[in-house]
Amino acid sequence: MRSVTELLEVVHGRHNELIDPGLHVWGWEIPVYLFLGGLAAGLLILPAALEWRREREGDDQLATAVRWAPLMALGMISIGMLALFLDLEFKLHVYRFYLSFEAASPMSWGAWILLLVYPVGWFLGIGLTNYRERARLGRGWTRTVVELTARVFRNHREVVLAGNVVAGVALGTYTGLLLGALAARPLWNSTILGPLFLVSGLSTAAAWLSLFRLPEALHLRLSRWEMGLLGTEAAFLAMYLLDLATGARASAAAARVLLGGPWTGPFWSVVFGMGLAVPFALKWVETTRHQRPALAAPVLVLLGGLGLRWILVAAGQTASYAMLP
């Protein structure tokens, strides 16, 4: 029979085989949802920003990829929500998120933010398209709905543009705060994850748009924006690691998972190297030497954005309070 000291070690030290294996509860669905949510947030914000700039400077109509970006965002967030739905233990209870609003719950905020994204993205997406593009979206009553949507956008352009920026910022920030609010996971317990995931979502959205054929001036502008976003993302990552390393014992122990621990190699090679440093260098060469845009940089940014979320979700479940000395 075990002594009292041994029993306390089992409970306090978290060496109970019936508990620790159950700690790894999030699989591929969560990082995919977080990545697509951040990408969708960026695809709501960037077209609104580019439309404001076009109006101010009197430029021609936005490029086709930019006009369709808000509708792409709705498709991506739908796929992300499907991944989130697959992760739910009790799938038939999903409707309960919309029976109340809990101000202290990030998940409750997220559920209502996701509900807001669809109408604002729809009005912006339809409003930015031209008459010929809207004609291909449907006939009969669907065509009537599309034209009414376009009319609402024309009459309330500023409200729709501002609504997309607000919804995009809320969605992108929420994907980070969803992790940051889980205090039991010291690697995630940082408010810096909110702005970090928002900036990462904007950079992946700019990279996504760069995959399409764009006018040279627009591609150059997006490349410059993307370089700024990549630099800002690197700064937030440095702040995040510094915040962990200089924090309480649990945070410092969690930081060692990325700073000398099992996830150090993937984190620095995938997130910093492949996702930030290499595409920044490629973009700098493109913009300063006026070379033809290559697909390598945006593809690496997208893979780095996915890798950031995948590694943090997986490493965060490794870095538990069981690591405390």
The enclosing domain of 237 has a CATH number of 1.20.1630.10
Q: Is residue 41 part of a domain?
A: yes
Residue-number span of the structural domain to which 45 is assigned: 14-323
In the predicted model, is pLDDT for residue 10 greater than 50? no
Q: Which amino acid is at 36?
A: L
Q: Who wins on pLDDT, 313 or 10?
A: 313
pLDDT digits (tens, 9 = 90+) for 151-172: 999 999 999 999 999 999 999 9
Q: Is residue 6 part of a domain?
A: no
Average pLDDT, the chain: 84
Q: Is residue 253 part of a domain?
A: yes
Q: Is residue 5 part of a domain?
A: no
Paired tokens of 73: 């965002």
Burial class (CB in 10 A: 0-12, 13-18, 19+), 115: exposed
pLDDT digits (tens, 9 = 90+) for 250-299: 888 888 889 888 899 999 999 999 999 999 999 998 888 877 767 889 99
Q: Is residue 1 part of a domain?
A: no
The beta strand positions in 72-199, using DSSP E, are: none
**Number of domain units in the chain:** 1
| End-to-end CA separation in angstroms for the chain | 26
What is the reported pLDDT for 104? 66
Paired tokens of 196: 């970090």
What is the reported pLDDT for 122? 94
Residue among 297, 321, 299, 317 nearest 309 (CA):
317
CA distance 314 to 310: 6
Q: Is residue 9 part of a domain?
A: no
